[in-house]
């Protein structure tokens, strides 16, 4: 936010959950006060009944960046969904669009068999992708299944192809990596605050839509746990503890992914505070100058 104000920037969402409407609290979407300080794009633009793939987001983000540049501003792409950011900066493998009928059949198979059984089928059909994926990762398992069903080729083969469609622009990459103990404490505090602000009502409204449980919005951090509480299976306190644990585990995976997959221009690995602004802005301005 400070960068957007300082650099006449527009914030472009690269968080896979903040793109969905109806879940502003649970996804920790920017609020009206934030949006009044700087323009925001790609927040809350899709219904929770939709699926946003990396390819779909890439197209949306390219359009958003073009809109920002046309307005004479700087796009500030923000979010922790590494695959989305890589899709924008480096492009994506040229996987063909999956026919709707194949996609629907794959999801019907997932619903019938469950992720573990579908994973066993994937291992038999596509051992390479099967070995890469966790049996419980239903979203990625069904994606690998639908790709090999539709194209006859492993998703791994497609991913090995030269990426396409990345943005043509100079990029300054900033990676925020606070100490893990502080990060995990922040995760716990944030989820507790979400519940106090009304996250339970958001989940109640989401469940009333009776959506496919395999949809991304239905698997948002906190949704399964709070849904279990609403079903009477666990107490609210237990739901909060479980959701906090899930959030910490997800943050750990993000931490590992960015450490291994990303080479940023600037790493913020100390406890962040506004006292860092002058140093950060100076580094970013210097980086921008070297890239022009």
- Where along the chain do its domains lie? 2-92+164-290, 100-159
Position 138 confidence tier, pLDDT thresholds 50, 70, 90: confident
Inform me whether the pLDDT recorded for 271 exceeds 70: no
| Stronger pLDDT, 271 or 256, i.e. the higher one | 256
Answer positive or negative: Cα dihedral of 110, 229, 199, 182.
negative
What does the pLDDT average to over 52-73?
A: 95
d(CA 265, CA 272): 17
Residues listed for the chain: 292
- Please compute the mean of the pLDDT values over residues 32-43 and round it to a whole number: 96
Q: Return the CATH fold of 2-92+164-290.
A: Rossmann fold (3.40.50)
* Phi, psi (rounded to 5 degrees) for 155: -55, -35
What is the pLDDT, as a whole number, of residue 291?
Answer: 65
What is the distance between the alpha carbons of residues 88 and 164, in angstroms, rounded to a whole number?
A: 10
Which residues make Cβ contacts (< 8 Å) with residue 190, sequence separation at least 6? 28, 247
For position 94, what pLDDT does the model report?
Answer: 85
Q: Lowest mean pLDDT: which of 62-76, 129-143, 194-208?
A: 129-143
Angle, CA of 73, 78 and 31, to the nearest 5° = 85
Check: CB of residue 261 under 8 Å from CB of residue 86.
yes
Each residue's pLDDT tens digit, 204-215: 999 999 998 888
Residue 12: per-residue pLDDT: 98
> Which CATH number is associated with domain 100-159?
1.10.20.140
Percentage, residues of the chain above pLDDT 70: 97
């Amino acid at each position: 936010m400070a960068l957007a104000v300082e650099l006449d920037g527009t914030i472009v969402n690269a968080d896979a959950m903040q793109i969905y409407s109806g879940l502003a609290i649970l996804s920790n979407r920017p609020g009206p006060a934030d949006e009044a300080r700087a323009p925001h794009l790609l927040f809350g633009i899709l219904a929770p009944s939709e699926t946003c793939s990396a390819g779909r987001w890439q197209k949306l983000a390219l359009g958003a960046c073009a809109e920002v540049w046309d307005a004479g501003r700087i796009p500030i792409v923000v979010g922790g969904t590494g695959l989305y950011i890589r899709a924008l900066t480096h492009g994506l493998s040229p996987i063909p669009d999956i026919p709707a009928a194949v996609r629907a059949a794959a999801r019907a198979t997932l619903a019938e068999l469950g992720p573990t059984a579908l994973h066993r089928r994937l291992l038999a059909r596509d051992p390479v992708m099967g070995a890469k994926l966790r049996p419980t990762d239903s979203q990625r398992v069904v994606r690998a299944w639908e790709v090999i069903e539709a194209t006859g080729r492993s998703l791994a083969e497609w991913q090995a192809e030269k990426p396409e469609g990345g943005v043509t622009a100079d990029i300054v990459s900033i990676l925020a990596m606070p100490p893990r103990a502080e990060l995990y404490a922040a995760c716990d505090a944030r989820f507790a605050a979400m519940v106090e602000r009304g996250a339970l009502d958001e989940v109640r409204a989401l469940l009333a839509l009776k959506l496919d449980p395999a949809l991304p919005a239905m698997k948002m951090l906190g949704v399964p746990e709070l849904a279990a509480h609403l079903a009477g299976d666990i107490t609210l306190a237990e739901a909060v503890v479980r959701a906090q644990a899930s959030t910490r585990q997800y943050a750990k995976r993000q931490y590992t992914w960015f450490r291994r997959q990303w080479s940023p221009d600037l790493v913020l690995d100390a406890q962040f505070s506004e006292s860092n602004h002058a140093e950060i802005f100076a580094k970013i301005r210097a980086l921008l100058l070297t890239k022009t």
